[in-house]
């Protein structure tokens, strides 16, 4: 299969080039040349398949002959080495728990898949592959741990100083080896822009082999569709199914929309956001107006200019009516988020993290209008990753899993950086010195 740029549909590349480059020329995002559609018969027996088998079927539809099937099976098997259980917390309302991976966040799926795919392709490179990743929290930890010790790669994580939780920060600043953390004096949007500028810098790209591990990279996006298929296959009722996705950079939601385009019988999606409500405002007005992000308790969603919006509208050929048919958008304040966390804990003894709580709120709002809905909201991170806000909100102690405690014992190692491209470029140029 070929993959084209959202900025130039005539610019078409192989999977290998799309994964290694990460970003298309002119800051475009790569998209599949066509969305493979699975036959209706596939969904009649999908419940008989394991998570790994479902994931392999989806991956194979996109990868085709670019990776040998035996190797692809190995990659998928290594990616899907943990479960994503559905937990019914109210009648016909399910939490899809995506936090059972090594860093306890949904991004483990994409990061693990991408690290292995990129490792497969990078083996042919003479230059070290430098992976740039901007993070507002969980992306940094998932990517850093996914690529730790992967031969021929170096990961540079950019994150906004003071705007991620301590546990999130420790998960990517204590690893050392081929992982470097840049602590940026700014916002996530500043970090993301620095990464995009680096990809557009011809001088820098002549010296270094740069790619991205954010959801702008196709190899991060494809595996995020796996768990939509798996969740649907495990629902006791499969009619009027709606997914509510807590959204920041919108890669997770875009992956769900791709799953629906592949034939997965999902009736509707909900873009659930915090006060960074750029996409809900777009859905209300048809106008896309990015703006600087604002800080909230659901910090991984503090994004004011979501990159994957370009993919979302490309999927529907910028047809606003079609987008509105499949997608609704709601935003919620920190106060509403905390109230939902308290309510669910009091009534159901179920602990939501602040991001999952936003997804839950979006689903409840939609169901108030469409009560026949069977709803799934994505619980994207373990509550202990936001220990302070969860404990303060629920007035109860949250136990930290052992694998998180190990990170907390490590020593933070970061490089301070101004939110200035010249400073970032000068840092990256030092990585080229040993090769000159």
Please list the active-site residues. 107
- Residue 243 main-chain phi, psi, to 5 deg: -110, 130
Partners of residue 105 on adjacent β-strands: 381
Comparing CA positions, the residue from 321, 308, 216 lying closest to residue 257 is: 308
Partners of residue 378 on adjacent β-strands: 96
Q: Is residue 165 within 8 Å of 387, Cβ to Cβ?
A: yes
H/E run at residue 265: none
**Cα atoms found within 13 Å of the Cα of residue 234, Cβ hemisphere only:** 20
Alpha helices in 91-131 (DSSP H): 107-122
What letter does residue 180 receive in the DSSP assignment?
A: E
Alpha helices in 95-179 (DSSP H): 107-122, 138-147, 166-173
30-32: strand order across its sheet: 12-13, 3-5, 30-32
Q: Is residue 242 within 8 Å of 266, Cβ to Cβ?
A: yes
Q: Spell out a b/e string for 232-266, using b for 16 or more CB atoms within 10 Å of the CB, else e.
A: bbbbeeeebbbbbbbbbbbbbbbbbbbbbbbbbeb
- Residue 372 neighbours by CB under 8 Å, 6+ apart: 240
Q: Is residue 345 within 8 Å of 396, Cβ to Cβ?
A: yes
Cα distance between residue 71 and residue 358, in whole Å: 38
Cα distance between residue 357 and residue 149, in whole Å: 35
- The residue to which tokens 């992976």 are assigned: 131
Q: Regarding beta strands 30-32 and 3-5, do their DSSP bridges make them parallel or antiparallel, or are they unpaired? A: antiparallel
Q: Is residue 245 within 8 Å of 269, Cβ to Cβ?
A: yes
CB atoms within 10 A of CB 3: 21
Q: Cα torsion at 244, 3, 222, 361 (round to 10°)? A: -10
153-160: strand order across its sheet: 209-212, 129-134, 153-160, 179-185, 415-418
Tokens of 390: 């969860």
Cα distance between residue 23 and residue 199, in whole Å: 7
């Amino acid at each position: 299969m070929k993959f084209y740029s959202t900025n130039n549909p005539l610019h078409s590349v192989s999977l290998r080039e799309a994964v290694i480059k990460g970003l298309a020329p002119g800051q475009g995002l790569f998209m599949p040349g066509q969305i493979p559609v699975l036959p209706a018969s596939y969904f009649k027996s999908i419940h008989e398949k394991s998570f790994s088998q479902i994931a392999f079927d989806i991956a194979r539809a996109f990868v085709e002959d670019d990776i040998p099937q035996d190797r692809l099976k190995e990659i998928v098997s290594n990616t899907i080495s943990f479960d994503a259980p559905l937990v019914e917390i109210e009648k016909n309302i399910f939490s899809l728990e995506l936090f059972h991976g090594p860093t306890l966040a949904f991004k483990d799926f994409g990061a693990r898949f991408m690290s292995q795919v990129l490792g497969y392709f990078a083996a042919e490179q003479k230059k070290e592959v430098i992976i740039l990743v901007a993070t507002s929290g969980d992306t940094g930890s998932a990517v850093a741990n996914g690529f730790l010790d992967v031969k021929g790669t170096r990961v540079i994580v950019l994150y906004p100083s003071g705007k991620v939780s301590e546990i999130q920060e420790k998960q990517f600043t204590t690893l050392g080896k081929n992982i470097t953390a840049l602590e940026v004096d700014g916002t996530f949007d500043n970090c993301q822009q620095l990464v995009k500028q680096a990809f557009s810098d011809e001088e820098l790209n002549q010296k270094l082999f740069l790619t991205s591990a954010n959801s702008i990279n196709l190899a991060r996006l494809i595996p995020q569709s796996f768990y939509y298929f798996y969740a649907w296959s495990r629902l006791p009722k499969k009619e009027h199914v709606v997914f509510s996705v807590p959204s920041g950079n919108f890669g997770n939601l875009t992956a769900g929309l791709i799953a629906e385009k592949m034939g997965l019988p999902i009736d509707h999606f909900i873009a659930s956001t915090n006060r960074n409500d750029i996409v809900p405002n777009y859905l209300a007005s048809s106008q896309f107006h990015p703006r600087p992000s604002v800080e909230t308790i659901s910090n991984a969603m503090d994004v004011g200019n979501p990159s994957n919006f370009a993919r979302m509208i490309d999927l529907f050929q910028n047809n606003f009516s079609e987008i509105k048919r499949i997608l609704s958008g709601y935003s919620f304040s920190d106060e509403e988020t905390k109230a939902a966390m308290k309510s669910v804990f009091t009534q159901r003894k179920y602990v939501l993290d602040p991001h999952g709580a936003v997804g839950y709120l979006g689903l409840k709002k939609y169901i108030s209008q469409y009560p026949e809905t069977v709803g799934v909201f994505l619980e994207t991170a373990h509550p202990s990753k936001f220990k302070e806000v969860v404990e303060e909100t629920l007035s109860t102690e949250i136990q930290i899993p052992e694998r998180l405690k190990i990170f907390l014992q490590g020593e933070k190692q970061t490089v301070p950086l101004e939110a200035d491209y010249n400073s970032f470029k000068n840092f990256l140029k030092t990585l080229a010195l040993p090769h000159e």
